[in-house]
Amino acid sequence: MSDAAIEIEDLVICYGDFVAVDGLNLTVPKGQLFGLLGPNGAGKTSTIRILIGQKRPTSGSIRVLGHDVLTDWQAIKPMFGYVPDRENHFDDFTGRRNLQIFADLYRVPYRRIDECLETVELLDAADVVVRGYSLGMRRKLLLARALLHKPAVLYLDEPTANLDIHSAAVVRKTLRALVAEGTTVVLTTHNMQEVEEICDRVAILCKGRLVALDTPLSLRRQHTERLVDVVLLDGSRHVFNMDIPEQRQRLAHHVQSDAVASIKTREFNFREAFLKLTGTEFT
């Protein structure tokens, strides 16, 4: 049995003449929280649409938990959950009733509804009509719905977008807890901090191609610029590159001569790394 939850081989997705994904090869091991990043038009959404069976690829093969997405779709359906980027609830129903419908479809006992609502801290609002929910509550309800049947693979499209700090933290905590239980989570996000905080691995797509695939830490190592910003007592500003011996010595000299007003190392900047890798601004 393969350890891969998702195996994508030579995936090509075309919309007419436009190539959205161009020969993507990607393997997501089981039990990882995998981030899929890229600028608009990079092919993230197209890839997700293939994974959730809403589009057929132009060519290539995709296997989820050992099942071919194209030929064995019905077997895959109960195994994954999907949190779309926009909420899609029945507004006239309560949160609980929304989940009841899907609990019935998945043949999940109703007590699981309360568990999921509690996980996303919505139990108190369970019997409130969704029309009265805030945006954050609606998004958390999406996650609760996706968790109902304890999916082995969970796809999330920008799960923390527009959430307040507390709600975003709840979602992140929930995702980490799921991964700890062995669930494979694939998320797309624009939140760099989120990627660094919770993702085990990150794939960066640009113009339909994979430009980077690594852990956030490794990306940090590869792309951190070892620069130090210094403001001297005379008001002058300097930048010292720690990779150049002369500049290291000059910085040391300034520090020893007590001429430094402030000193600050430049932290790893995912945005800059992303810009370098993709040649485009993150949107």
Partner 1 sequence: MLRWYIIRTLLKKEAWRHLADRGGIFVAFLLIGCFALACMFGRRFIGDQILVGTVGVCYVDEVDLGQHTPAWLSHLRSHPPEADLRIRFRRHSQLPIGLLFYGENTGAVQIRDGGTDHNGQPRYVIMVWFPGSDAGVMEPYLRWFWKETFAFFGQQRRPLQIDTEGPLLFPSGSMLVRVSPQSGGKRHFLTYSRLENDQKWFSDLPPPLEIRVEYHQLQNRADMLSFAATALITFAMWFFSVFLMPALTCEERERGVLLAQALSPASTLEIFAAKFLFYPLAGILLGVILAAIYKISVIVSLFFWIALVTTAIGYLGLGLAIASLAPNQRKASMGAMCYLLAIALLLFISLQFRVPLAQHFVLERHCVRLLHASLVGTASAYRYEMIAAIVLSLFWTGLAVRLFRRHGWQ
| Contact of 161 with 87, CB cutoff 8 Å | no
Helix-then-strand count for the chain, H and E: 10, 13
When the beta carbons of 86 and 173 are compared against partner 1, the nearer one is: 86
When the beta carbons of 129 and 232 are compared against partner 1, the nearer one is: 129
Residue 220 phi/psi, 5° resolution? -60, -45
Closest CA to 189 of 215, 155, 145, 138: 155
Closest CA to 85 of 162, 4, 31: 162
User: Is 139 in a helix, a strand, or coil?
Assistant: helix
Cα separation, 177 vs 158, whole angstroms: 18
To partner 1, the closest distance from the beta carbon of 151 in angstroms equals 11
When the beta carbons of 120 and 230 are compared against partner 1, the nearer one is: 120
For residue 36, give both structure tokens: 């899929």
Q: For binding to partner 1 (CB under 8 A), which residues are involved?
A: 52-54, 74, 77-78, 80, 82, 84, 86-93, 97, 101-102, 104-107, 145
When the beta carbons of 102 and 282 are compared against partner 1, the nearer one is: 102
Length of the chain: 283
Q: What is the largest CA-CA distance in the chain?
A: 73
To partner 1, the closest distance from the beta carbon of 142 in angstroms equals 9
When the beta carbons of 82 and 270 are compared against partner 1, the nearer one is: 82
What residues have CB less than 8 Å from 116, skipping those under 6 apart? 99, 144, 145, 147, 148
Cα separation, 112 vs 108, whole angstroms: 7
Cα separation, 71 vs 153, whole angstroms: 18
When the beta carbons of 103 and 219 are compared against partner 1, the nearer one is: 103
**Which residue is associated with the tokens 């949160």?**
95
To partner 1, the closest distance from the beta carbon of 44 in angstroms equals 17
To partner 1, the closest distance from the beta carbon of 15 in angstroms equals 13
Lateral strand order in the sheet of 227-232: 237-241, 227-232, 260-265
To partner 1, the closest distance from the beta carbon of 123 in angstroms equals 21
When the beta carbons of 37 and 122 are compared against partner 1, the nearer one is: 122
To partner 1, the closest distance from the beta carbon of 129 in angstroms equals 8
To partner 1, the closest distance from the beta carbon of 93 in angstroms equals 6
